[in-house]
Amino acid sequence: MNVSLIGMPGAGKSTVGVLLAKRLGYDFLDTDLLIQRQEGALLQTVLDRLGAERFLDTEAEVIARLDCRNTVIAPGGSAVLRELGAGSLKRLGPVILLDLPCRALERRLGNLATRGVTLEPGQTLEDLYEYRRPYYQKYADFTVNADQPTTEHTVEQVLAVLGKL
């Protein structure tokens, strides 16, 4: 079984994912790193070079090629915006939404211009949050509140959800 963690940038997908993988004895895979390796550049550079639409297509194609077992997968926050990518995650195993209020995301995130976030010109983090939220809810098998005092609390909640499978 694989486990995919979806959610907004800053929700803790990679941080929670690494700790979750350790607790489960699984591998950990960050799909943003696969994109960087494939494209030979940092994620923000890839996004700038390709533009948002081509980036989303590339991200979905990378996810669709995943062939792994016993892996915690942390895709980019935009992975759910293409059926190819989101459907591939669902076929790989349960998908867990790490949910966080927009205000908490704003506190966690630094400069969005360097994070590889697919913002359209003039789009705010809140706009992006409202746009993506229905996609996250559509593809999530479970939702975990990631606005916890510590990352370990979030990991415990994910483990509890997985225990219900």
Q: Find, among 6, 1, 3, the residue nearest to 86 by Cα.
A: 6
Angle between helices 83-92 and 125-139 (to 10 degrees): 50
| Residue that the structure tokens 């966690």 belong to | 108
- Homologous superfamily of 3-156: P-loop containing nucleotide triphosphate hydrolases (3.40.50.300)
| Domain residue spans of the chain | 3-156
Q: What is the pLDDT of residues 68-115, one digit of tens each?
A: 999 999 999 999 999 999 999 999 999 999 999 988 888 887 666 656
Alpha helix positions (H), 3-150: 13-24, 31-39, 43-50, 52-64, 83-92, 102-108, 125-139
Give the separation between CA 46 and CA 50, rounded to whole angstroms: 6
Q: What is the pLDDT of residues 31-65, one digit of tens each?
A: 999 999 999 999 889 988 999 899 999 999 999 99
